[in-house]
Amino acid sequence: MVKKYVYGRPFETYAVVNAENVSDAAESEKREFFREADMKKALEPYGGITWDEPEDWNDAPAMQYRVRMSDGDVVYGLGENVRGINKRGWVYESKCSDDPNHTESKRSLYGAHNFIIIADADNPAASKGLFIDYPGRVIFDIGYLDKNELVITVCSGNFTAYVVSPAMDGADGSDNHLYSIVRQFRHIIGKSYVPPRWAFGYQQCRWSYMSADEICDVVDNYRRRNIPIDAVYLDIDYMERYKDFTVNKETFPDFADFVRKMREKHIHLVPIIDAGVKIEDGYGTYEEGIKNGYFCKEADGEDFVAGVWPGRVHFPDVLNEDARRWFGHGYKVLLDAGIDGFWNDMNEPAIFYSEKHLKEVFDKIDDYKGKNLDIQSFFEFKGMVEGVANNLGDYERFYHRATQPDGEVVVRHDHVHNLYGFNMTRAASESFKELAPDKDILMFSRASYIGMHRYGGIWTGDNHAWWSHILLSLKMLPSLNMCGFMYVGSDVGGFNDNTTEELLMRWMGLAVFVPLMRNHAAAGTRYQELYRFTDTDTFKNIVTMRYALTPYLWEAYRRAVEQDTLMYRPLGFEHPEDKVAVATEDQLYVGEDIMICPVYTQNAVGRYVYLPEPMTMVRMKSADEYELEKYEAGHYFVEIPAQEIVFFIRDGHRIPLYKSAEYTEAVFGNECEWIGE
């Protein structure tokens, strides 16, 4: 059962699309559920969260929800975020952020996924799901100020809360309360995006592939060593001076021919598209945007100027239907060249600086010149300079002419901030339907809000070559699935900092089971293509094992989408009464049949594994060489060399193991054998 609590006049986010069975809460219930809050007082303990008095269309008082949690209650959800699968013990803030330091101390990453499940330990039937449909800031204090209290603060009085209760009669076919909540929630937000099958192949990316020749060289290196691969990415350097929908003609002469030649080798090229449109006379996209008034504006009607890769840019107003359609049609030039995959980036949107704020900072710097900078003034100065990028004040400087069901509304960006990446991706995806209805196109984004899951996947942004980030990426998988995001993955090997052969190998050991298996690194870091290391054979082996398992993963993915359920299942979902299973956060069920237990520590010879049920261990040594061993439920230390992939099949289940191939599509035509009982 899903009940809707409408407060004030909410902005239509288009997160919920199937509301036919959603009932409205009575006024008295609404008053009980969320209470008016004095925002200044409510936000003070969290520090650093500002709150503006609302504006005309948005003038209801802010609201707060409080509930006590007993010790065993678990809070799941929040999609892309830091910390555990159980979100208890920290405070999270929904605010799409361009922040490349994914440390425990953070409260937000690139996505804003306001859905949680409160799993009631004492009375499972009283468990509930809660979705706060509000595109501005929402604070989820999940046992931070008080370890047994959940406090949700919505920085506006205009929002909709959806409360999902388990279907007690099992009418929806769910096996337990938690799955029932997920299924009902996923139903109301609509079916998740399904990518083309090749997007389940291994993919290579790097920021700083400078030319077609360099990319050919990468592909040749993979093919020569028979390491399967399906896609290579074009990061910002393929463009002409970082201008969207252009290609640098000097470094990529005859682009369409290049795309075609790559396709002959079964390689898909996937270019990046950035949110900011370069301000440059003579550049078509810029000139069209100006002519039609399609860019976000400041209060005085001037187009807002921010700085990103190309320097000065404008942001397309993707919340406006006409502007969205126009921006979406920009992808045509690349589609026409044969491209069938894109990644949308910097769409929080990331702002290195705004022209106006930068000027204020420069003026201030003049004041500091020649002064004795003491403890106070030095840190003030430092904070000011460091605060130039992604400055919160800048998000209050520009406006959208957002299309709403009853017409256009002018809305200040910070009130709808979390919808930008969603609508940029929607722009692309809607135009694909129009421009290339027969093409199956890969699409994923960095920033997102629930609802975007219908249009594309996400990657989890600029992580580091840190061991802890293998585990963090694993923990995000089920949380993302709960929020509808199914085509997901992290930068394998780590984006920032220098990777090592062992780290990359272990990361690959997890990525074998993740839909988006993309190796990506930042410019200036150590090269981390799989052939750059000593033990290339092992990397080849790991990738071929992935290809052998791809049809299983593909089916698990498809089924999870069709049934509105999880592909990645926390052990606590399968065994809610088993306290150890509930607390195990470094293993996952993948689909209905297998459980994975990747190694995520340096110099490990194996790891402890908890089996909540009897299972068969599969020790894969290569795509067609494996051993099976039966285990009873219990705790074990399992030796797992980095060269092997170890996972478990549930009793009574079987999975197909295909003959591997050079590229994904070919695998599906191969023969397979079934392993397990």
Interacting residue ranges for ligand GLC, rule: CB under 6 A: 207, 235-236, 272, 345, 446, 461-462, 520
For the bound state, the minimum distance from the C-beta of residue 232 to ligand GLC, rounded and expressed in Å, comes to 13
- Judge whether 595 and 613 are in contact, CB under 8 Å: no
Residues found in the chain: 677
- How far is the CA of 433 from the CAs of 17, 273, 443, 573, in angstroms? 19, 18, 12, 36
The single-letter code of the amino acid at 430 is E
Q: How far is the CB of 90 from ligand GLC (least distance, A)?
A: 24
- H-state helical runs in 371-520: 375-386, 413-416, 420-435, 468-482, 501-511
CB of 474 closer than 8 Å to CB of 510: yes
The phi-psi region of residue 14 (left if phi > 0; otherwise alpha if psi is between -120 and 50; otherwise beta) is left
| Complex with ligand GLC: residue 347 or 479, whichever CB lies closer | 347
Q: Smallest gap, in angstroms, from Cβ of residue 110 to ligand GLC? A: 8
* Beta carbon nearer to ligand GLC, 236 or 543: 236
Q: What angle do CA 545, 501, 520 make, to 5 degrees?
A: 75
Nearer residue to ligand GLC within complex by CB, 238 or 255: 238
CB 104 within 8 A of CB 510: no
61/100 with CB nearer ligand GLC: 100
Q: State the Cα angle at 187 between 184 and 193, rounded to 5°.
A: 135
Phi-psi sector, 326: left (phi>0), alpha (psi -120 to 50), beta = alpha
Nearer to ligand GLC, 329 or 520 (CB): 520
- At 523, the amino acid letter reads A
Which lies closer to ligand GLC via its Cβ, residue 109 or residue 117?
A: 109
Closest approach, Cβ 522 to ligand GLC, in A, equals 6
Cβ proximity to ligand GLC, 529 vs 593, nearer residue: 529
Nearer to ligand GLC, 516 or 581 (CB): 516
Residue with Cβ nearer ligand GLC (445 or 660): 445
Spatial separation of the C-alpha atoms in residues 87 and 107, rounded to whole Å: 11
Euclidean distance between the first and final Cα of the chain, in Å? 37
Min dist. Cβ of residue 387 to ligand GLC (A)? 19
Q: Least distance to ligand GLC from the beta carbon of 562, Å?
A: 31
Q: Which is nearer to ligand GLC, 235 or 394 (CB)?
A: 235
Min CB(495)–ligand GLC separation in Å: 6
* Distance, C-alpha 539 to centroid of its chain: 26
The 10 Å Cβ neighbour count of residue 83 is 20
Pick the closer one to ligand GLC by CB: 57 or 207: 207
Residue 6 vs 210, nearer CB to ligand GLC: 210
Q: Tell me if 644 sits within 8 A of 603, measured CB to CB.
A: no
Residue pointed to by tokens 């369409």: 256
CA distances from 343 to 181, 328, 355 (A): 31, 13, 27
d(CA 477, CA 474): 6
The Cα-based distances of 467 to 69, 84, 534 in angstroms read 32, 15, 20
CA distances 281 to 285, 290, 475, Å, are 10, 10, 46
Give the nearest distance from C-beta 492 to ligand GLC in angstroms. 12
Half-sphere exposure of 352 (CA within 13 A, CB side): 10
Least distance CB 60 / ligand GLC (angstroms): 36
31, amino acid identity: R
* Interatomic CA distance for residues 172 and 186, integer angstroms: 13
Beta carbon of residue 392, minimum distance to ligand GLC (angstroms, whole number): 20
User: Measured from the CB atom, is 97 or 320 closer to ligand GLC?
Assistant: 97
Distance in Å, CB of 520 to ligand GLC, minimum: 6
Q: How far is the CB of 207 from ligand GLC (least distance, A)?
A: 3
Q: Which residue has the tokens 């400041």?
A: 298
Alpha-carbon gap, residue 119 to 85, rounded angstroms: 12
Q: Closest distance between ligand GLC and the C-beta of residue 270, in Å?
A: 12
Under 8 Å between Cβ of 506 and 642: yes
The dihedrals phi and psi of 463, each to the nearest 5 degrees, come to -75, -175
Supply the minimum distance, in Å, between the C-beta of residue 523 and ligand GLC.
Answer: 7
Find out whether 345 and 459 touch, Cβ atoms under 8 Å: no
Choice between 4 and 520, CB closer to ligand GLC: 520
Distance (Å, whole) CA 19 – CA 505: 45
Position closest to ligand GLC via CB: 207
Token readout for 189 is 């937000």
